[in-house]
Chain A
Amino acid sequence: MEAVRNAFDFSDFPRLDLWVAGGVLAFLLVFPALPHSSFAMTIMIQFLMFSLYGMGWNTIGGYAGQVDLGKAQYNGIGAYTTAVMMVRWDVPFWVSMPVGMALAVGWSFIIGYPLFRLKGHYFAIATIATSLILKDVFEVWDFVGAAKGMEIPIRKNLPDFLYLQFKQDYYYYYILLALFLVGLLYLNAFRHSRLGFQLRAIKDNEDVARSLGIDAHWCKIKAYAVATAFVAVVGSFHACYNFNIEPEDVMSLDLSILIAMMALLGGAGSLWGPIIGAAILVPLKSYLGDWLGASAGLVGLNLVIYGGIIMLIAAVQPRGVWGMVEAALARRRGDHGAA
């Protein structure tokens, strides 16, 4: 019960934050009703997907401070569970999604146990390694379609809510938005939870945390499992949204890195950070690509700008965009104090 109360307890945020968050939420709710291009809709869906990825990553990467660059493997497990169950046994999305989540979390416990013996850069590179190992296995595993991937057949009568197949994107959008809100509330509860406090203690100083009797190893594994669950759910959704998945597409190193980058850029370790990161990078990438990338002669310029912005933010404020906002606010408060 307390967890539910915590989930809705945003009282520790300044009122301004909540007003803005409320405004953004209202915007998200009515967005499909506003005049928009369908490209904008696909970008919004990407934004929600990457927000969810980022929110998940944030539990292990932000709150626990462990740089995980192997999240794509769980995206793959989620996507493949849904696709395989749908193609082979005709199982609806709402059944296969929790199964995929369970499988992913199970796998995360298996590899998490040895993985968290490692620290820092060793850990980061080991996560890349595990993700690539799983991808290589999926590429030759005939049961899941090997390198050819899985193609989900289109059903006769659309819209189909059981199998998550729609013609119009706004159906996908609202389902994703619902997942997004559930995720946000869960994370808000997570923040207040015992595990949340333990993780922050570990991040601040692991030795001190241990001396206080916190089982750091086990806490990290639990946080890793939470992160995994988020990513696996989006993976399941991705399979239905795209109708076709391949290892190269759903388990690539690029995806792992992108997930981490978005959360980091927005500001790891804060509730809003990953959402801000996705809100900046997803449209930036898509629109820059569309404006500059396709016109000949400027190939690459879009990514130079994109990379430049990432580099700049990292150099100016290590805590990402949210860190900038907070720093600016603190400075203003300081000015007021002096005045």
Chain B
Amino acid sequence: METLLPELLRSLVSGLLMGMVFALVALGLTVIFGVMDIVNFAHGEFLMIGMYTTLVTAPFLGVDPTLTLPLAGVVGAALGLACYFGVVQFLLRGPMVAQLLGTFGLMLVLRNVALLFMGSEPRSVHKGWLVGQSWLVGPGVVLESTKLAAAVLSIVSFVAVWWLIRRTKTGMALTATSLDKEGARYVGISTERMNGLSWAIGGASVAIAGGLLVNFWPVDPNVGLLFTMIAFATVALGGFGSIRGAFLAGILIGLIVSLPTVWDAFIRFAGLGDFSIHSFKYTFVYIIYFLIMVIRPQGLFGWKQ
């Protein structure tokens, strides 16, 4: 027992932290979807660009990488607006398939422009307050600075977005747009501007996440896709457009991906051999996604199918 319990505790903490990271990355996606029913294939590329922004500007400005987060946010917001007014608004005329096609093209363009300018080799931030810091707490529980910061940022930004949408006039206009476009237009809301705003918020939030994550994660032009798939599953599991749902689904996925460690600890404790299930880490995410969706086709907290 004395080996099993600390191991469980460690997995729980690590799973929670990772879950909040996933939630943070997925936040922008759920905002955009909530307002305009569009899945952005290029979401991970926004993250990648946020990462590069911090990587490049921090040494250039001579400040700590953490201080460049607002800049990453500005870049993300600008990029979001550019994408919306440059491409996405034209895609809205078409059916869902055209939107997938369009944002898929956008993903290819952004990723490969990064490849052209930054090269394919992975890079990482070497100096900074958060770089390489971690603390041992209690029975061998490790708190990594970057993930801890990301978890804090995750909570803060979820609360902020929730507040924005529920408590401000702009937020109500956003909600109105998402519920009924025609109706929103009748009461004088510019849905075009609301859509643009959602892309700006979505782009900024994920780029800020990228700027923070680059303190730990190495960045290369393909890094986006790794997170995109998880973000898709997170947002869909929580229910498209549900802010609260995305947060809880992120944590659920974080806990699922630490299952193999629990399994390893358990079979070692019980002496059941050494069959490792780490290669199924993400398989469990997809299986649980599938099962939950079949039972609840609108996601955990979604209200529309």
A positions within 8 Å CB-CB of B = 61, 65, 67, 114-115, 117-122, 124-126, 128-130, 132-133, 136-137, 139-140, 253, 257, 260-261, 264-265, 268, 298-304, 306-316, 318-320
Asked whether, in the complex, the Cβ of A61 is within 8 Å of the Cβ of B105, the reply is no
Asked whether, in the complex, the Cβ of B305 is within 8 Å of the Cβ of A264, the reply is no
Asked whether, in the complex, the Cβ of B101 is within 8 Å of the Cβ of A132, the reply is no
Residues in A whose Cβ lies below 8 Å from that of B218: none
Residues in A whose Cβ lies below 8 Å from that of B283: 132-133, 136-137
Residues in B whose Cβ lies below 8 Å from that of A122: 236, 240, 293, 297-299, 305
Residues in B whose Cβ lies below 8 Å from that of A315: 87, 90-91, 102
| Chain A minimum-CB-distance residue to B286 | A129
For window 10-40 of B, CB contacts with A under 8 Å fall at: 33, 37, 39
| Cβ-neighbour of A136 out of B87, B105, B282 (below 8 A) | B282
* Interface check B115, CB cutoff 8 A: yes
Measured CB to CB, the closest approach of chain A to B120, in angstroms, equals 7
Binds A, one of B66-74, B106-114, B196-204: B106-114
* Interface check B97, CB cutoff 8 A: yes
Asked whether, in the complex, the Cβ of A126 is within 8 Å of the Cβ of B293, the reply is yes
Asked whether, in the complex, the Cβ of B100 is within 8 Å of the Cβ of A264, the reply is yes
* Interface check B216, CB cutoff 8 A: no
Q: What 0/1 pattern do residues 213 to 245 of B give for CB contact below 8 A with A?
A: 000000001000000010011001000100000
28 residue pairs of the A-B complex, CB under 8 angstroms, read A65-B97, A67-B100, A119-B297, A119-B305, A120-B96, A120-B305, A122-B240, A124-B39, A126-B290, A129-B233, A130-B286, A136-B283, A137-B283, A264-B98, A264-B100, A300-B116, A300-B221, A301-B112, A304-B112, A304-B116, A307-B107, A307-B108, A308-B105, A309-B105, A312-B105, A313-B101, A314-B94, A316-B90
| Chain A minimum-CB-distance residue to B291 | A114
Give the one of A119, A128, A318 with max B CB within 10 A: A318
Number of interface residues of B (CB under 8 A): 49
**Given contacts A136-B279, A314-B99, could you give 16 more A-B pairs where the C-beta distance is less than 8 Å?**
A118-B297, A124-B100, A125-B236, A128-B232, A130-B286, A132-B286, A133-B290, A264-B100, A300-B116, A304-B116, A310-B102, A311-B87, A311-B108, A314-B91, A314-B98, A316-B90
Asked whether, in the complex, the Cβ of B106 is within 8 Å of the Cβ of A130, the reply is no
Asked whether, in the complex, the Cβ of A125 is within 8 Å of the Cβ of B233, the reply is yes
Residues in B whose Cβ lies below 8 Å from that of A137: 283
* Interface check B95, CB cutoff 8 A: yes
- In the bound complex, CA of A137 to CA of B236 (Å): 23
Residues in A whose Cβ lies below 8 Å from that of B105: 307-312, 314
Residues in A whose Cβ lies below 8 Å from that of B280: 136, 140
* Interface check B294, CB cutoff 8 A: yes
Measured CB to CB, the closest approach of chain A to B299, in angstroms, equals 7
Residues in A whose Cβ lies below 8 Å from that of B293: 117-118, 122, 126
For window 278-303 of B, CB contacts with A under 8 Å fall at: 279-280, 282-283, 286-287, 289-290, 293-294, 297-299
